[in-house]
Amino acid sequence: MKIQKEKMKLIIMLIFLGLLDCNLKAQSNKIPIEKIEEMFSNMKENGVNPDTKMLWGYFFTSEKKDKFFQVAGKLKSKGFDFVEIYQAKDKSYWLHLERSEIHNPKSLFFLDEELYTIADEYGIIYDGFDVGNVDKDKPIERDTYAVPEEFKTIDFQKDKYPCLLIGNTAFDRFPHKEEFGYFIKVTTSYKKDDKVMLPVDGELENLEKFESFITNNLTQNKIKNYYVFRDTHKGIRNFYIVTNDKAAATQVLNVIKMSGKQRTFDFEILTDKGWSLYNEFRNKMPNE
């Protein structure tokens, strides 16, 4: 999709969201519903609320521009506004239309189908879409507390046994680290393989359920928290959750521990305003 410089301030950061390839180059290679669903999912993960009215741009391309005004006129009756016609460096011509509206994956997919049909009718190509703030002078609003899932893993030898490390590297960009200065370290033992000391079959699922139980209970008690990283080594799983409410988290975890209804575990809440624990994890993790 061709985008002029002034348009850049309107659109979602496509590279940031990993959506740059959602604009396909020919009617024979239409944007599938799965790609659109992925785009909306990524928007939500990155704190963008797609259930609000936004400015959607739609792009057509052709070797000639003589059909563009007919297409623009036809779509004007459907509420589309004409933005511009321009020629790209490869000499192809582009028609840019826009409309302020609310979309979900299905509505956008069906609109795409309609635009593909119109493009076929006039012998041009519908290339795809972009989206931005209705106020063209502002970027798309997003919840900066939303953290996408960008988990990375690494394994290495420690004390002659494998150590598995996994964590969410999206916290590299988290702007509220100063607010969240308490790391909850939860430690639990697991059924292990005698040779490599890693969890046996079925135990990984049990550990995942336990971690979800802990984070869900914190959330249900209105304690803000994020799952950050974990390590698995020699029969011990440590996982780290960051929060901004040490006292409330301590109370909830003590209740869970004393109830005896979950697997045996210990916890400690570490004050770490500088996120040194995360930085230590990050230094072990490759950037790519």
Q: How far apart are alpha carbons 243 and 70 in whole angstroms?
A: 57
- Return the minimum-mean-pLDDT range out of 16-30, 208-222, 272-286: 16-30
pLDDT, mean of residues 12-24? 40
Share of the chain above pLDDT 90, in %: 86
Dump pLDDT digits (tens) for 170-180: 999 999 999 99
Question: Which pTM was predicted?
Answer: 0.74
How many other C-beta atoms can be found within 10 angstroms of the C-beta atom of residue 93? 19
Q: How many helices (H) and strands (E) does the chain have?
A: 7, 10
Q: How far apart are alpha carbons 113 and 280 in whole angstroms?
A: 49
Confidence of residue 12 (pLDDT cuts 50, 70, 90): very low
11 DSSP assignment: B
Q: Give the contacts of 173 (CB within 8 A, at least 6 positions apart).
A: none
Query: According to the model, what pLDDT value does residue 268 have?
Result: 98
One-letter identity of residue 276: S
Taking 50 as the threshold, does the pLDDT of residue 238 lie above it? yes
Query: According to the model, what pLDDT value does residue 24 have?
Result: 39
Confidence of residue 29 (pLDDT cuts 50, 70, 90): confident
Query: According to the model, what pLDDT value does residue 73 have?
Result: 97
Structure token pair of residue 75: 């779509």
Domains and CATH numbers, the chain: 5-132 (3.30.70.970), 151-284 (3.30.70)
Measured in whole angstroms, the distance separating CA 261 from the mean position of its chain's CA atoms is 34
Helix, strand, or coil here: 226? strand
Structure token pair of residue 1: 């999709």
Strands (E), the chain: 54-62, 81-87, 93-101, 125-132, 151-158, 161-168, 182-189, 225-233, 236-243, 266-271
CA angle 114, 29, 106 (to 5 degrees): 45
Q: Is 91 exposed, middle or buried (0-12, 13-18, 19+ CB in 10 A)?
A: exposed
Confidence of residue 40 (pLDDT cuts 50, 70, 90): very high
Quick check: 26 and 126 in contact, CB under 8 A?
Answer: no
Taking 60 as the threshold, does the pLDDT of residue 260 lie above it? yes
Taking 60 as the threshold, does the pLDDT of residue 11 lie above it? no
Confidence of residue 8 (pLDDT cuts 50, 70, 90): very low
How many other C-beta atoms can be found within 10 angstroms of the C-beta atom of residue 116? 16
Dump pLDDT digits (tens) for 41-95: 999 989 999 999 999 999 999 999 999 999 999 999 999 999 999 999 999 999 9
For β-strands 161-168 and 266-271, DSSP reports them as unpaired
Structure token pair of residue 163: 């150590």
pLDDT, mean of residues 11-17? 40
**CA quadruple 205, 240, 160, 194: dihedral, nearest 10:** -30
Q: How far apart are alpha carbons 180 and 48 in whole angstroms?
A: 22
Q: Is 59 exposed, middle or buried (0-12, 13-18, 19+ CB in 10 A)?
A: buried
Taking 70 as the threshold, does the pLDDT of residue 156 lie above it? yes
